[in-house]
Structure 1
Amino acid sequence: MELKRKWTYGAIGSLAIALLILGGAFLGVLADRSGLKLPENVVLEDFSVNVNELTNTITVSGTGKVSGSPDLAIITFGVVTQADTAVEAMKENAEKMTSVVKALIQAGIPEEAIETTNYGVHPLYQHKMETPTIIGYRVTNEVRIETAQLDKVGELIDLAGESGANQIRGVTFTLSDTKASEMRDQALLEAVGNANTKADLIGGALSLTIKGVVHVTESSFYQPYQPYSYLREAAIDAAPTPIFEGDVDMVATIQVIYLFE
């Protein structure tokens, strides 16, 4: 019972404080507009400023879009082997992947630009009987490379296939950090201009004068171009692989709260 009484007193106290603050805010606005003189020990200027800032605002969004050519390609190759034992499958896989990596390095891909993204050893089961039995093992090894040699992407794919790669996970054309930053800045400038144009248009239509900016938020993104985003078997004896990169769009959006009078 005592705990309940303390909680009730606390709630009443909090409510009273809230009412005092709201009442002070109202008195501050009233005093400011009517010329009412308050005692010297009562300071309410902050309340009137906050009220004006919250009411005399409009919120506008802006969008900017910049298109550019990618300057970085990401290719994922895979080697899949299968044998009666795990050791045999792993050994064959290691030999083929080593051959692939050596060929890529000789073609000008730096070793630090080659990264293993997946490696797994999986038993293969036969389910014809009540108790599944292991009939072999499959080993998968995948590597990802990054290159700025966009005109050689097709050649690199063919080279990897000739060297032992039998899967291609995908090719992605994207932006380096430097170019992404440059395009983002351009898109943000366009978004700001778009927001300012909207604010001026709205302000003119409503006979308002934009006096400044209270708050701004921004975000940006881009979608890398992926001509091949699916798993396919590499055809070693096929014709040279033609690959064409498309443009990448950088989109920036902002939300601006303008102060007006």
Structure 2
Amino acid sequence: MIKTLACTLPLAMLMSTAAPAFAAVEISATAANPVVELSVTETVLGAPDTATFSTGVTSKAPTAQEALRTNSAEMEKVIAQIVALGIKREDIQTSGINLSADYEYGNDGRQPRFIGYQVTNQVTVKVRQMARLGAILDAVVSKGANNVSGPNFSIDDDSKAQTEARDKAMQRAQAQAMDYARRTGFTGVQLLAVSEATSNVSPMGMADMKRTSLQSEAAAPPIEGGQVGTSVTVNATYQMTR
């Protein structure tokens, strides 16, 4: 988009991590010539070194108290197994506990029949030993986990990938701004403002092994991490110069 401004614009360099946290430095700049505003995204691919999956136990019983008591006992076994596999407790986080009434549904048109209560306790687990991921999932199921979802792959420290993607995005933004300038009779550009946002992407999609009824005798599932991407989006405003 090209437009003419006659005002003072800030130069704001906004730095972001995977969870946006911004810091800004402002420098006044006056735009007397047309400006071009660009949004450029660059993605750098790399092999993941971290996987996150969700697992837990669903238990049923005639009373809420019994369902919760049974579920808690089973979940303690699952968590103990996760810790025994060498995963640190700071990499295990409860993601949800749900208690709900349980009904039996028939095909004869009658109203659902209340049969008790259902409790689900779910944890999210971060695995830093990718080669062991399949065996870890199998071991967790062997200790009573009856639902598993994920995994989601990521790079634990993607700061180098962010820097590379940022460099590429800024170079492309500069080149595009120069192209606009030349097309409209100008010879150069001056950067007035820039901001960025980062994100992680999986170009091949998330691995999906959602199962509602995993059996303890199941073999360790094969896991392929593929590649994940670190994306940086740069929003830049340039003034055209002569």
TM-score bracket, shorter-length normalisation: 0.7 to 0.9
Q: Cα offset for 1:204? A: 3.7
Which structure shows the higher helix fraction? 1
**Which of 184, 205, 213 does residue 233 from structure 1 map onto?**
213
5+ residue gaps, structure 2: 1-5, 7-28
5+ residue gaps, structure 1: 1-24, 26-48
2:143 aligns with 163
Asked if the contact 1:170–1:231 (Cα under 8 Å) also holds between the matched residues in 2, the reply is no
- TM-score normalised to structure 1 length: 0.71
In the TM superposition, what are the counterparts of 1:120-159 in structure 2 within 5 Å? 120-125=98-103, 134-159=114-139
1:112 maps onto 2:114 in alignment:
no
SS at match of 2:176: helix
| 1:115-146: CA deviation from partner (whole Å, max 9, x where unpaired) | 11111222223578988763222111111111
User: What is the one-letter code of the residue matched to 2:174?
Assistant: N
Asked if the contact 1:73–1:174 (Cα under 8 Å) also holds between the matched residues in 2, the reply is yes
- CA radius of gyration, larger in: 1
Q: Cα offset for 1:61? A: 3.8
- Cα distance in 1 for partners of 2:71, 2:145 equals 10
1:68 aligns with 46
Distance 1:186 1:163, change over 3 A: same
Q: Cα offset for 1:201? A: 3.1
1:31 aligns with none
1:184 aligns with 162
Which structure shows the higher strand fraction? 2
Mean Cα displacement is larger for which, 234-243 or 200-209? 200-209
Q: Cα offset for 1:211? A: 4.7
- TM-score normalised to structure 2 length: 0.76
SS at match of 1:239: coil
- Cα distance in 1 for partners of 2:152, 2:44 equals 19
Distance 1:109 1:197, change over 3 A: same
Q: Cα offset for 1:233? A: 2.3
Distance 1:112 1:65, change over 3 A: closer
User: What is the one-letter code of the residue matched to 1:59?
Assistant: E
Between the two proteins, the alignment pairs up a number of residues equal to 210
Distance 1:127 1:197, change over 3 A: closer
Percent identity over the alignment? 27
In the TM superposition, what are the counterparts of 1:216-227 in structure 2 within 5 Å? 216-224=194-202, 226-227=206-207
